[in-house]
Structure 1
Amino acid sequence: MKYKMIVLDLDDTLLRDDGTISPGNKQALMTAQEAGVKVVLASGRPTYAMRALADELHLERYGSFILSFNGAKIINWKTQEESFSSTLTPEMAHALHGMSLEEGVSALTYVGDDIITEEATKYTHVESEITGMKVVEVPSFAEAVQVPVVKVLMVAEPEKLVVVEEKLKAKMAGQLNVMRSKPFFLEFTEDGVNKGTSLNHLIQQLGIERSEVIAMGDGYNDVAMLEFAGLAVAMGNAPDEIKQIADYVTDTNMNDGVAKAVEHFVLKDLVPAT
């Protein structure tokens, strides 16, 4: 099988624990792109927080893509055009904030390049560190959020969010997509929007078949794209539940797991053996 697209989660997949791309991973992805394979960075991160990584991999040179906000946006990095975009109304964002208050957890969203919240917590600051975006603590979430937003996050201790997730998944079924991107992040996007459905939009635009797509991830918000892709690769550091749905388990994010999978499934068919 000749694969035409490699779709990659960022945190704990492509990126090492310090948030950087290893030389081995970078070289493998550059070689694949030079051979015509599209690389897609697919993350729950806002677009702003993916720019430097997209530039480091020269996605603009090869017409590769990013799927940000868990697939709520697809951007061609060469043209900077959005080929897909999904948002929540301000009213829905306000309603979710109200639910967060009822559940005793903190909520945040993004307006421009800022993280907006009424209550900054240690987890809000984790999001700031991951994204490089500034936290703006506001007196009124409703007054600060007057435009459509891509997603809302509820953040809290993992054991607390397990309970909140189960309750709100049932309450918002058919209205919103609810998923945890990290143990302490519970994300809300438009119903039917996830990395898998977004990936489906993209390959239809490009004329690529599902069977020609490799997806790699480690988290629960990667499940939809792993199940959609022709080849699902779980990281060695992924939870057992993620490994069980994968076709192949590679090495960890700290040991060039992405590069090893790319070399095994893509580059060996592109570069003659020596």
Structure 2
Amino acid sequence: MSYKIVFTDLDDTLLNDKREVSLIDKLAIIEAQKQGIIFVLASGRPTFAMYDLAKELELDKYGGYLLSFNGSIITECKTGKNIFEATLTSDDLHILYEYSKKFNTHIITYHQDDIISETQSKYIDVEVELTRMNHKIVDSFKKEVNYPAVKCMLLEEPQYLKQVEKQLKDIFNDKYTIAISKPFFLEVTKKGIDKGIALQKLASILNINIEDTIAIGDSFNDLPMLKNAGMSIAVENAKDEIKNMCKFITKSNNDSGMAHMINTLILKK
């Protein structure tokens, strides 16, 4: 099989536990790009929070892409232009805010370079640290958020958040795409928008057959991408449900799993 494009999750997949790309992974990605492989960073992260990593991996030089906000935006690294964007309306965000209050969770959304919330929590602090975005705490979420946004997140203790996920899906499964990424992040995007749909859309734009695509991930928000790719790959540290449905298990995120996959399936070293 001659693969042409790789879609990779970031946190706990490409990034190690220090939230860095190992030098071994970086060199393998650059070598694969030199051989004509397109690389796509696919994350729940905001676009802004992915630029530095894309630059480090030379995606702008070799024609890579970003799938940010779980596939709500597709960005061409060479030009910085968004070639696809899907948003929640302000009404959607207000509805989700009301349910966050009902379920007693924190809620955030994004505007330009800011993370917006009414509250402070250790879980919001994780997102601020991951994205390096400014945290804007407002008096009224509904008054502040009078614009569309690509995503919002409900945040709370992991076991409780699983219960919230089930209840939200029971209510809104026909209206929104709802998935847990990190155990304390419950992500909500427009219905029909996820990493898998974005994979299909970009492959179609680039005229690449699905059979020639690779996706690699570790968590539940990666499932649509893994299901839609020609070759589905889990890192060794992935959740068991993810590993059980993938065709190939590579090494862990702390053991240069990306390089192992590239050397085995692409460069065939």
Pairing 1:57–2:92 present = no
Shift of 1:40: 0.3
Task: Give the AA of the match of 1:256.
Answer: S
Q: Which residue of 2 aligns with 1:11?
A: 11
Aligned residues: 269
Question: Following TM superposition, where does structure 1 have runs of at least 4 consecutive aligned residues deviating by more than 4 angstroms?
Answer: none
Which sits farther off after the overlay, 78-87 or 65-74?
A: 78-87
Provide the C-alpha distance between the structure 2 equivalents of 1:27 and 1:231, rounded to a whole number of angstroms.
22
**Mapped contact 1:46–1:69 kept (Cα < 8 A):** yes
Task: Give the AA of the match of 1:235.
Answer: V
Q: Which residue of 2 aligns with 1:79?
A: 79
**Mapped contact 1:120–1:135 kept (Cα < 8 A):** no
Q: Which residue of 1 aligns with 2:127?
A: 127
Tell me the alpha carbon deviations over residues 27-54 of structure 1, each in whole angstroms, 9 at most, x when there is no partner: 1100011111100000000001101000
TM-score (norm 2): 0.99
Task: Give the AA of the match of 2:87.
Answer: T
Shift of 1:65: 0.3
Shift of 1:91: 1.0
- Aligned pairs for 1:39-54 (under 5 A) are 39-54=39-54
Provide the C-alpha distance between the structure 2 equivalents of 1:79 and 1:135, rounded to a whole number of angstroms.
28
Task: Give the AA of the match of 1:138.
Answer: V
TM-score (norm 1): 0.97
Pairing 1:201–2:201 present = yes
Tell me the alpha carbon deviations over residues 211-247 of structure 1, each in whole angstroms, 9 at most, x when there is no partner: 1011100011000000111110100001111000100
- Partner SS for 1:258: helix
Provide the C-alpha distance between the structure 1 equivalents of 2:190 and 2:212, rounded to a whole number of angstroms.
27
Fraction of identical pairs, as percent: 43
**Alignment RMSD (CA, Å):** 0.7
Structure 2: gaps spanning 5 or more residues? none
Tell me the alpha carbon deviations over residues 117-148 of structure 1, each in whole angstroms, 9 at most, x when there is no partner: 01111100010011001111110001111111
Structure 1: gaps spanning 5 or more residues? none
Q: Which residue of 2 aligns with 1:140?
A: 140
Provide the C-alpha distance between the structure 1 equivalents of 2:102 and 2:47, rounded to a whole number of angstroms.
30
- Aligned pairs for 1:105-254 (under 5 A) are 105-254=105-254
Tell me the alpha carbon deviations over residues 241-260 of structure 1, each in whole angstroms, 9 at most, x when there is no partner: 10001001010000000100
